[in-house]
Structure 1
Amino acid sequence: MLVDPPATPAACRGRLVERARWQWRPTDGGDPAAHTEAFLAAHGLPLHDLAHPTTGHHPDGVCGAALYLSAAAGALLTGAPTGAPNPTDLPEVAVVVYAHTDPPPRPHHHPPTPWSHTPWTESWTPRQHADAVTAVRDAIGRGDIYQANLVGHAAATYTGDPLPALTRLAHLPGARYGGVLTGPDWAIGCASPETLIELRHGTLTTRPIKGTRPATTTGRVDLLTSAKERAEHIMIVDLERNDLARVAATGTVRVDDLFAVRRWCDLWQAESTIRAQVADGLGLADLLRAVCPGGSVTGAPKLAALNHIAALEPAGRGASMGALGWIGPNHLDLGLTIRTAAVDTTTLHVWAGGGITWDSDPDAEVAEAAAKTAPVRAALAPTTPHTHDR
């Protein structure tokens, strides 16, 4: 299987060998966050006190682990409904422990396999999507919520090897969390630019993204001057500050960079950077409970927004809007799985959406979701035997 999870340290890329794996589905029962922490500890990565990481020798040459946690698993951790059924045959949590070899393993070269997929089948029509936006605006008008993120799904059956296409996706410009995680009969390809949570040297960092425009000079000016986009963004910054405050040393939460404009593919997006010092005794399980699912893909207040999302979205979020990244002995770095695709044995899946506020225009929100998914779908486009994958 391809071994290239997002946020893998540079020294480990191309050298990873799987040592152990644990996967979780809701029918397995139990607390997936607690099980994740226990599994990692059993394989040489004790994360019961993130403020005081364990250093030294790790058994069997373990260098770290990939962690995937779905939005549905995150909702479960908060006590919220998990929404519509997962349209993919994927686990909701996967943890893969790796060692790295020296020298690197020899790559296996195979002739390129033609890749094709059927036309996309959407989970909702543009009219149904717009009506859901109107329903969120009505909920805001009643005072139920301030903002909610709506996500749509599309699926296509495929033939051929999906991994080259998922690798193309992972290499899209601006993909801070570009990578592929594979499992038995499934794979996730990620081109996310958004940090859900990072921990280095005792500092927690999250970088919520809210606000999108075409990557043109006019689009940048429009984004910077949009009162609607700035208000939407500030709501999520406040939510993320509160999430971090639950797991941070008292009085250490700060915003270092507010409403900075970054580029992802052909889009400008507004991003802020929020940091805090990790509290003594904080374990991985409690950190996951505090930050999952991410505020930028749920809404405010988070629990109330999740209830509306569960009622309105026609398909589960699957591999999207969750967490995916790397956990090492001294740091962790998890991206939010926006701009993400997944495959199971027969079907290719993509998702896209956006945050809805009182000032949202339903047709504009439909167009924004289409703009976000367009580069993802282009990277996954069918190939012919004469097409050379990067």
Structure 2
Amino acid sequence: MKTIYSVFQVNTYIHNMFHEDYLLSDVSVSGEISNLKFHTSGHIYFTLKDDKSAISCAIFRQSAQKLNIALKDGDKIVASGSISNYVPNGSVTFNVTKVEYEGVGDLTKKFEELKKRLAEQGLFDKEFKKPIPKFPKTIGIVTAPTGAAIRDIISVSKRRNPYISLILFPALVQGEGAKESIVKGIETLEKANVDVIIVGRGGGSLEDLWAFNEEEVAYAIFQCPIPIISAVGHEIDFTISDFTADLRAATPSAAAELAVPDIRQTIEDINDLKKSLDKDFERVLKNKLHKLAVYEAKLNALSPVNKLNKQKLIADSYNNKLDLLMKKIIKEKKAELETLSERLKGVSPLERLKAGMAYVTDSSGKRVVGVEGLLTNDKVKLTMKDGYAFAIVEKVVKEG
């Protein structure tokens, strides 16, 4: 009959195989650090990977204290130690006792190169950063529809303002198609005319967050006319999206706090302003009333009614004098006009016509003042006091 083993027996057997294997008991492995975590116990946990595979690693406190380099995500290292499995859950772990620095990992190098190139193109410049609206009505969110990130954003947003409107674009935030999904989410929410957009996800390794380091995502964020808050990973995580966005939040929860004003604080601020305005109004009113009382006392002391009556008498006096003066001027001007009228009569052509004289014009209506220019048989017009006469020149005699 075939022997049946328990899970514990199988894991123990595998553990012994690892322990007895000469190669795996002292092995050196080259790879790139990812998903680095420093535990409060003093242990260090990370993933060592290359372009084809990855292995979980642990540096226990005693070995961690002897490290002479500071580990960080993206470092390329040579780790030495032994490989074993943990019997309770069967997980395989590389127990690292020694670390040598080999250089910058491929992803980290790619990240720095893209960061430098986009910075030179001006995508990170402050002059292009759009201000986040103080009182948005609608917030767009580009993230996974499940997970801690969206739950945190909704929870914080509704706690700060229960009336805020949230529109979620359910995006892929990791793996194949993630960058295209994020770009589409930004473009879709732009068309929805939201007030601000939060783009982000929860924490993870450099590989997990890589979609937010893609050039296409960076350009979509930069070209979007709506302000964007980047909220990718944890506070220690930085992505290209963080540098391109109008504002970087350490976490999705922090992004919600930056995007959504606390309505209770807003109401409190409004009440404080109202109290301040009431006090200012009361102070100004009191000051104006005091000045009014002072002016009223001064007016009473100066008897403005008497002054007005006196000024009225003076005005009436000037008015009478003006009337007399005007009558005198009119009389004088009338006399001058009569004198000029008599003088005009003396030189008036009409008066001369009455005396028997005539006004002579030629056939074109031009005045004739002498015989020069007149010819025999010319027609002339004689204007007299009571009408006209037309004549023909029979003879022209010039005297003198």
Q: TM-score, normalized by length of structure 2? A: 0.22
Which structure is higher in strand share? 1
- With CA pairs under 8 Å and 6+ residues apart, which has the higher RCO, 1 or 2? 1
User: Rg bigger for which structure?
Assistant: 2
Which structure is higher in helix share? 2
